[in-house]
Structure 1
Amino acid sequence: DNSTYRRGRPAFWKAYGLNVAVVIPHVMISLALSILSSYGLKVLRKAIKSWERAALGQLIDTLIASGEPMGVKYDELAALKTGSVFEAACYIGAYLASKDHSLAESLGRYGLNLGVAYQVLDDLAGMSGSEEDSGSLVLLRKVKEGESMAKRLLKESINSALSSVTFLEDSEPFVELMRTVLTGFVVKSGLASSLLPW
């Protein structure tokens, strides 16, 4: 996204050069797909679909940031570019551990909503920063009451993630994981801890 800094440190492309930054993701993705293929077609397909959705989300984000009207809503973009990655990680981990598709789907929904919440926090942090706007930030800034809308989406995403795991006999590890991930981000980015419900 051409940002020269990412969370207070030089962006990868700035530190290692654009040529390396363009090639490294291809190497990493091919290695990941090679590893995932050893777990079967279902896992590989989920990973590829996630990669596709995240790449599409980032493409839309880039086009919006450059001024292209894309006709996508903020929550849809957050689900594509970040939620899909969290969803796949949770789905694949649950499926490999249990071979239970229903459980994996529920934990995938948990991951999707956790990812959306994470993206909202990232954008809220960006609203007060001096870094170049991403497409999702552009969308937030265009909407009247964009910050309020983002805070509502954050709350809805957290609640949806939690409701995705309430059926589990012991959902506390998932609640604690969410607290750790989101609180860690809030602390690192300097956001108000009052954004989170705990």
Structure 2
Amino acid sequence: MNIEQWDEHIAIKNAMDDLIHSLDVSAQMKEMVLHVCASGGKMVRPIILMLSTQLCGGRFEDSIDASLAIELIHSASLIQDDVLDEGILRRGMPSTHRMFGYSSAILCGDFLISKAIELISSYDRRSVRDFGRAGMHMSEGEIMDIMSINEDFGMDEYMECIRKKTASLFAASASIGAYVGGADEKTAEVCRSFGYNVGTAYQMVDDILEYVQIIQSKESENISLSLPSIYQRRMSPERAISRSVGLVEEYVSSARSEIAYFKSSQVTDKLLEITDYITLDMLTPDILQK
């Protein structure tokens, strides 16, 4: 699947380029924003927002600013994540704090969040509400992630952590898109549920890939807390991977079921494609066979 050729991807990429170049800010801030926002991300969340808009009868052009807001707050969260984790590289490039320093990176994150608020503010109250809630949940999820080193951090805590840290922004992307498209609350809730399911599966896949890298390097003592590492407390690494993949498949199946609520179309096909693209398609055959 070549997502870069989709109309939605082309539209959001062009809009992001225009936004960055039109910023009336200092040269250093513009350089940092360009570094963060033009480093090759797939822009999956804004694309889900634009597809959800079309799914509910709207035009994706009407949701461009909302999609930009989602991508900006996501980019800000990556800066924060790298600061918290002492990240060195992000998408093959030096992390923002490594490139510009901690203070500048944090302030760049603040700027991106503020710009995102400006962009989302032109939409209706429901969209602004979901956007704000997602931002709060993401911060809370990051705090839970920091606390995951505690021995009593189990499956329930893990699921709540990734639901807030990662899945909440996917859910908001889908529900905001639905609202822009004119959806009622019931339909928006279906979209929101789709976002939660696909976002949860996405984070689990990311965990599995990281876990496999670590155990293959024979450094199991450094395994960060994740779904497979929680399972490994009571089973072999191979079985832990298998159980984790099984849970991913359950959430992917639930996401697909939400899409089945809508009449089949090119838009539903794209949503199904992007669901697989960021989840099961990321898992190599040797992982799926474990």
> What range describes the TM-score normalised by the shorter chain of this pair?
0.7 to 0.9
Contact 1:77 1:136 in 2 (8 A): no
Q: How far is the alpha carbon of 1:183 from its aligned partner?
A: 6.0
Q: How far is the alpha carbon of 1:167 from its aligned partner?
A: 1.6
2:209 maps to which residue? 125
Q: Name the CA shift for 1:30/1:143 in 2 (closer, same or farther; >3 Å).
A: farther
**C-alpha deviations, 1:120-147, integer Å up to 9, x for none?**
1111111133597554366455464543
Q: 1:157 aligns with which of 251, 260, 269?
A: 251
Which range moved further: 34-43 or 138-147? Answer: 138-147
Is 1:29 aligned to residue 113 of structure 2?
yes
Which range moved further: 151-160 or 18-27? Answer: 18-27
Is 1:192 aligned to residue 284 of structure 2?
yes
Q: Name the CA shift for 1:122/1:177 in 2 (closer, same or farther; >3 Å).
A: same
Which range moved further: 100-109 or 85-94? Answer: 100-109
TM-score for the superposition, normalised by structure 2: 0.58
Which range moved further: 149-158 or 73-82? Answer: 73-82
Distance between the aligned counterparts of 2:223 and 2:250, measured in 1?
24
Q: Name the CA shift for 1:113/1:193 in 2 (closer, same or farther; >3 Å).
A: farther
Aligned residues: 190
Distance between the aligned counterparts of 2:111 and 2:284, measured in 1?
38
Q: CA RMSD in A?
A: 2.7
TM-score for the superposition, normalised by structure 1: 0.81
Q: Name the CA shift for 1:133/1:6 in 2 (closer, same or farther; >3 Å).
A: farther
**Counterpart code for 1:37:** S
1:167 maps to which residue? 261
Q: Name the CA shift for 1:140/1:18 in 2 (closer, same or farther; >3 Å).
A: farther
**Counterpart code for 2:269:** E
**Counterpart code for 1:192:** T
Please, which runs of 5 or more residues in structure 1 have no aligned partner? none
2:186 maps to which residue? 102
Look up the SS of the partner of 1:92 in the other structure. helix
Q: Name the CA shift for 1:70/1:179 in 2 (closer, same or farther; >3 Å).
A: closer
**C-alpha deviations, 1:46-99, integer Å up to 9, x for none?**
11111111111111101214x474564332222111110100011101111123
Look up the SS of the partner of 1:168 in the other structure. coil
Contact 2:96 2:105 in 1 (8 A): yes
Distance between the aligned counterparts of 1:142 and 1:18, measured in 2?
36
Which range moved further: 128-137 or 170-179? Answer: 128-137
**Counterpart code for 2:278:** V
Which range moved further: 158-167 or 148-157? Answer: 148-157
Distance between the aligned counterparts of 1:143 and 1:64, measured in 2?
18
Please, which runs of 5 or more residues in structure 2 have no aligned partner? 1-84
Contact 2:167 2:200 in 1 (8 A): yes
Which range moved further: 86-95 or 28-37? Answer: 28-37
2:55 maps to which residue? none
**C-alpha deviations, 1:16-44, integer Å up to 9, x for none?**
32112212221111111122121122111
**Counterpart code for 1:160:** S
Is 1:179 aligned to residue 269 of structure 2?
no
Identity of aligned residues (%): 28
Distance between the aligned counterparts of 1:141 and 1:24, measured in 2?
38
Which range moved further: 80-89 or 149-158? Answer: 149-158
Distance between the aligned counterparts of 1:152 and 1:183, measured in 2?
10
1:112 maps to which residue? 196
Is 1:54 aligned to residue 138 of structure 2?
yes
Q: Name the CA shift for 1:181/1:147 in 2 (closer, same or farther; >3 Å).
A: closer
